[in-house]
Amino acid sequence: MSEKVYDEDLELLGGAGPNLDLAWLGHNLLGKWADVRLASRGLAGNPDYQGVTGLSKEDHRARVLGQLKLLVAKGQVHRAYPKLFGGMDDHGGMLAAFEELIAADPSLQIKSGVQWGLFASAILHLGTEYHHATFLPDALSLAVPGVYAMTETGHGSDVSALGTTATYDLDTEEFVIHTPFRNAWKDYLGNAALHGMAAVVFAQLITKDVDHGVHAFYVPIRDAKGKFLPGIGGNDDGLKGGLNGIDNGRLHFTQVRVPRTNLLNRYGDVAADGTYTSPIASPGRRFFTMLGTLVQGRVSLDGAATNASKMALQIAVTYGNERRQFAPAAGAEETVLLDYQRHQRRLIPRIAATYAQSFAHEVLLEKFDSVFSGEDDTDESRQDLETLAAALKPLSTWSALDTLQEAREACGGQGFLAENRLVGLRADLDIYVTFEGDNNVLLQLVAKRLLTDFGRKLKGAGPADLAKFALEQVADRTLTGSGLRRLGQNVSDMGSTSRSVARLRDTSTQREMLADRVETMVTKLASELNAAKKAGRAEEAFNERQSALIEAAIAHAELLQWEAFTNALERVRDPQTKQILTWVRDLFGLHTIEKSLAWYLIQGRLSASRAEAVTSYVDRLISRLRPYAQDLVDAFGYGPQHLRAEIATGVERERQDEARAYFADSSRRFPRKESVDTKPITKKPAAE
């Protein structure tokens, strides 16, 4: 059957739809590191690596520490490290493997990330040969469980303003680590409350009375018996809203001395005489370069959150395809939940969003691997990687919380039972929106990058280009403000919904609409902020437009997801599978536009009738994709051993079949039901 047949109306197919190549799609969704993911899923499906519902905080922590030791024994932790240390220099594969551990227990995924993605990785990327030889082997083997001590009680996202100091003592050739006030305590640190033996501590490096900014230091914190070393104290963060298999805690330092050589000195060093040197002259660039080496935390959270959404949808759609409620007529069979339009609206657009996130994450992961493998390690590539991670991580983590909550509600009381995983995953994923960069702060970084790129574009423009740009802005305001754009759409929108959305189904039109929103928002912000800067009120103006900046960054990230999905469609060879995935992509794009219809209406980009047509076509796409919902979520590839939700095992179908058989048994006598008069009650007219 040719691709042309799968057009707007399924009537062309005689009422039949295309078929989905489920095996191909499932393998394609695994991405470049398919074999690595499958191997990690094999571990996640093993009960030895899984969380146990109802464990106490103490027992959960002990279990997860034991599971980390199993990962070491299985050789699962060295993949990203140099061959000298038993690794494979496979940076993308390392993250792909860790992301899949969320199916076993998010606490395991995050604690392993603390040990090998943050603590050991900081030694590798911020240290030099001495640190690699001295500290890295024990970090990799788990002989030294480690703490990544960056965040402070008073400063989380604003790392440059950390209060902890590391002052060089020329006489002893030591750094003195000190937390001078309570808000400078290191806080929320994995491994700090119980298991950590050493920490990579971020502090302001001071030598010869000059503060050279934040640097990282290797600091032992406990002895072999688990007792704090002199000058070091701390406490347990206690029971949290989720991730209670991780011993988060606080640390503080009182004049703690470490050798000069414990400075992780790849980007900044202090000689014995106290002289500071760095291969990067600019303090600002040096700071962001150091932090940029640790971007993998954001990358892995983007992937893990997307995986959590996949599991939630697989559970909810499976249950929604089996659970029945309310009969359309007396004696008729009850209706499957997923046949209700509202139920479809709750879940199917989220399937589309999760597909977009999955394809976008693969782009991010490959970008990360190319930078850290050295294949494309330039300043520009690192900046692009950091911006991409800062754009995608907020959307996927917010989406995971939204999807888990909607999936929970869609499963009713069954979804609220811990045995069906949804409430536990929702609790564990809650913190993902905050750590490794608060989502709102990350999106401000994205917005600043958009404004910077916009400024560079205009800075390099000649007089003719600037004149053309100004003319386009004036023309746009005139067209939108006069109503001419809206009038033209009102004329063209007359007729059927099919004709009014014909252009909206076009790939180039969807991209134009999504990109136009980003460009318009950034252009407006750049103009206003530039004017404020000239007026001497740049800081106030930036704060006044903070929400608008974040909205622009979100729009940019949504465009990136849409583009990743669209590019992924080019790899699909089977025309029927491509048609179904194109519908999924269209649903993601048009639902994204639908969520922002107010903006498109206010800006004159859509008329009221065309905006209404967008919603009509979104509903039409949802209905069209309903027969494929189960296949689309089954393609995510998580088995019963990963989901571990009773309602996703087919048990509801068995219950429905049992009930059906009960009522179909003609040998069984049933009491006659009282007839119910459904006619409306009418009052007799009052007596005259």
- Say how many C-beta atoms besides its own lie within 10 A of residue 425's C-beta: 26
Distances 500 to 4, 386, 407, 510, 616 between C-alpha atoms, Å: 21, 40, 33, 14, 10
How many Å is the Cα radius of gyration of the chain? 29
Residue 123, classed as helix, strand or coil, is: helix
CA angle in degrees (0–180, nearest 5) for 488-492-496: 150
Tokens of 492: 């063209």
For 150-217, the DSSP string reads --BSS-SS-GGG---EEEEETTTTEEEEE--SGGGSEEEETTTTTT-SEEEEEEEEEETTEEEEEEEE
- Contact partners, residue 483, CB within 8 Å, separation at least 6: 604
Question: Which tokens go with 447?
Answer: 């917005």
Q: Could you give the 3-state DSSP secondary structure of residue 306?
A: helix
Among 408, 427, 429, smallest CA distance to 417 is for 408
Task: Give the DSSP letter string of 428-478.
Answer: HHGGGGTTTS-HHHHHHHHHHHHHHHHHHHHHT--HHHHHHHHHHHHHHHH
Residue 377, SS3?
coil
Q: How far is CA 290 from CA 116, 121, 489, in A?
A: 17, 12, 51
Catalytic residue at 436? yes
432 neighbors 301 (Cβ within 8 angstroms): yes
Spot the catalytic one: 436, 551, 558, 652. Answer: 436
Amino acid code (one letter) for 526:
A
Active site residues: 436
